[in-house]
Structure 1
Amino acid sequence: MDFTIGYLIESLSNYDRSSVGSRISKKIEKGQFNSEKDFVLALDEEEIQFLNNILPDEIKYAFDEQDFVRGNQLNEVYELLI
């Protein structure tokens, strides 16, 4: 879980100007999630929609850069959202 959340925080840093992105980052900082599923269950509908919008691009970027670990970790979260 630590790697996944770390990659997610890094991805969200590109969107910190968004109030939703900032809210998700704060939720991650405050919460201690045992799994990706616990994290996803703690999200509201607006946060889920936001991640559904940004994660495909972030995953594509990771794979384009041949960072397969990051791409796979972000994809795990994305799969839980849909």
Structure 2
Amino acid sequence: MNKPLAYLREVLSNYTNEGQHYPSQLLSKIANNHYNTERDFVLDLSEQEIQYLNSILPNELSNAMESEDFPRVQQLNEVYELLF
């Protein structure tokens, strides 16, 4: 698995206990489809999944910046930029 999707998988796992459908759905896509690139993953997303990621990733990027986890910022940003 490529690094951006590995970081995204970690982020999504933090949201699975909140009773939302999208984190589990996206985790399943990552696990079952073996995407070669984060672009392949993003191209396979529904509009609702894109909206969901757009709603959580800015906060996750902000948290990573605050904790100075720059590799995490870089990897998550690679996915986030493709959502637009």
Structure 2 length as normaliser, TM-score? 0.92
For structure 2, list consecutive stretches of 5 or more residues without a partner in the other structure: none
Residue in structure 2 matching 1:75, options 50, 74, 77? 77
- Distance, in Å, in 1 between the alignment partners of 2:69 and 2:50 is 24
Q: Between Structure 1 and Structure 2, how many residues are aligned?
A: 82
Q: Which moved more, 1:54-63 or 1:9-18?
A: 9-18
1:57 aligns with 2:83: no
Counterpart position of 2:38: 36
Structure 2 counterpart SS, 1:34: coil
Runs of 4+ off more than 4 Å: none
Q: Deviations 1:6-40 (Å, cap 9, x if unpaired)?
A: 11011001211310111001010101111111000
- Distance, in Å, in 1 between the alignment partners of 2:79 and 2:30 is 13
Once the two structures are aligned, what percentage of the paired residues are identical? Answer: 50
Counterpart position of 1:9: 9
Structure 1 length as normaliser, TM-score? 0.94
Over aligned residue pairs, what C-alpha RMSD do you find? 1.0
For structure 1, list consecutive stretches of 5 or more residues without a partner in the other structure: none
- Distance, in Å, in 2 between the alignment partners of 1:33 and 1:9 is 13
